[in-house]
Chains A and B, each alone.
Chain A
């Protein structure tokens, strides 16, 4: 099946081969996915490592400094800070795609079900295509040399393809997964940010980037759907004790991923220049509020599913009334475990209700609300050690 109006192409052979080499090292199971594609995803467009672009609904810049001008077809048409900021966004986007493949790869074999496993493999494959797409954005336009670096695509490819979990641009992609519940919570909470970012970037002032967004968004929708549906299944099973994880395990995972997801938007105060340059269509503050509203709705639906699993005879009205009184799962406060809020780590010692804790009480509190295995990861250890140094607490 081919999606109408999408153009398909490949990137320059040397880059294509380099990405295939990376895939063999980091994602060898892609063959398994291709073999069983029709079984799990019949009637859906088959996976292919390629560039997909869609025609623009509007080729004008709709906001900011260049409002009313045509979107820039060449990188060299963007000048000053705009050029470097565009590059930074494209590079970060690419890094997230590669980073998530490395994260998913460590735990995908222990997935909750066969369908969950192949769904995660599909997510990984599509993330690889998204990275491929970003390399196309950088490599097909030689005018990126206007940045002052002739080998921009080669350099960024060298840098990104050598990154491992821990060295990616955004924190959420530097956390090692400790079990298959991470795969699902990540798809549900972090990939949802991807949807927001890609939607906002449909207005991107650099045309090749904006033309890339629609096909990526179409694929991203599956990632969210997988995260949400499998998480709901897990919660329903956990509610009646028929799952390897408890609801407390799920809550602790939410406590890990929700704060990291929030930080992917950047600080609430920032993002003004992205609007000025038309790299995004919404301010950080508005996007965060919209995301939180959406995730709050999901939490309500999860709580309803849990209650329904425990008490199948309840009507919808009864369920709604009951979960108002008692919810099984909840979102932590938006102030909980923030690293890049603009405040220092010592100033950011809030509990999941948003109450301020003393630095001395903070570490032991975190151990109560986070998954035990997570507190053994390098990410957490680096975080807590940095916090202790800042707080003057002996490590």
Chain B
């Protein structure tokens, strides 16, 4: 894989990742993308027992999110960036590999949020800045900082640090428990690695089937000609091509992931459609998948789930275990095959389906008829009298000719995410999404159009 921003060295089972983007190692989309891939490579390496994250140079661990990027890029890109950053940080936080943040200098904003997902934090002694200055810029820490800091040092102190936007020293950070240990300047990074080795010695890293073979697939990166991405009239159609069927499942999953990231950050896209009519994610039925495939699949599912767009799925055949997991994460599933009994066969094979069905509270029986499956909303099939393009007509319901409202994506978040939260948190989420929509141009246009008795001309996207 191309290495621009992360220097990686593995020393006796401990991988040292150094953020390297002068002068402040700020977080950009490119850096996070490399961090995510680099971490995936380490997860597949059975020799790696732990990871140290640090900053290149002596001045900065990381100065946080690149403000030049936030000021330059459009709202959509920035929303997408924050969403992506949260996904990458969550991915690392949920890894079985233990992580130590070796704070070698100034660490602010998003840089500190990156350190907060680590299991251990050590800092070099000295006078430099540690803190969340976001309120001075008119925002708050938005990559988990408010939640993780308050859980680490308590809400009282966390609020003090965040609301005042002030910087603290390493020794004070150590005193309040934000940093576990302060180490001398001399040989700091070697000492940090030694701490990691000692702390992680008895750490149980249970990676079933960590597979070096997969590293070559990740290293080679996305294979462009196994997935096509076509964007037309607001619909991003991601189609798996026949060549995908001949390659390992990870190739198809990575290529789908790449297409999703491109499509969901495109301001012209209002809805996404994953099409598995021409190609398949190649796995053998009943074969246990490598541990990492499951981990990567969960990342992809989470990405589909949190995508603030309506996400549809189309197929015309029986799906395998991985494909059905992907299909379940989508908001709508369309079956375009001629043999409807295939739908029933899918359900019999898939434990995911029964979890879903239970959630819907519609199917009480272990076995289900095609009629029940269609009725439950699991699959939509071709209505009588419609052309073969019937599902595209349905999808276009989310992309009217005048543009789709931002509210569609937010409705998805409120319903899907909100229903998984305690009622109080769900209500909070709903209120904040509504506040954002009220502040956005689409709601102004929508209400104005209503009063003027005309169709609204939405700009679409999300905020």
Contacts and interface: CB of A to CB of B under 8 A. Distances in A.
B21 A150 contact: no
Interface string B391-419: 00000000000000000000000000000
A286 interface: no
Interface stretch (B22-30, B111-119, B199-207, B326-334): B22-30
B72 A273 contact: no
A87 interface: yes
A87 B4 contact: no
B31 interface: yes
A275 B78 CA distance: 28
B81 interface: yes
Interface in B232-277: 265, 267
Interface residues of B, number: 22
B68 A85 contact: yes
Nearest 3 Cβ contacts at the A-B interface: A148-B73, A148-B77, A84-B68
A149 interface: yes
A112 interface: no
Contact of A148 (B5, B24, B26, B69): B69
Given A84-B68, A87-B68, 4 more contacts: A65-B22, A80-B4, A150-B267, A152-B72
A140 interface: no
B22 A273 contact: yes
Contacts of B5: 79-80
A150 B77 CA distance: 10
10 contacts: A79-B28, A83-B28, A84-B28, A84-B69, A147-B69, A148-B29, A148-B77, A150-B74, A272-B23, A276-B22
A148 B22 contact: no
Contacts of B28: 79-81, 83-84
Interface string B1-42: 000110000000000000001111010111100000000000
A87 B72 contact: yes
Interface of B: 4-5, 21-24, 26, 28-31, 66, 68-69, 72-74, 77-78, 81, 265, 267
A277 interface: yes
A272 B72 contact: no
Contacts of A84: 28, 66, 68-69, 72
Contacts of A83: 28
Given A81-B21, A273-B23, A148 B72 contact: yes
Given A80-B4, A80-B5, A84-B28, A272 B73 contact: no
B58 to A, nearest CB: 12
A88 interface: yes
Contact of A81 (B22, B74, B78): B22
Contacts of B30: 79-80
Interface in A299-328: none
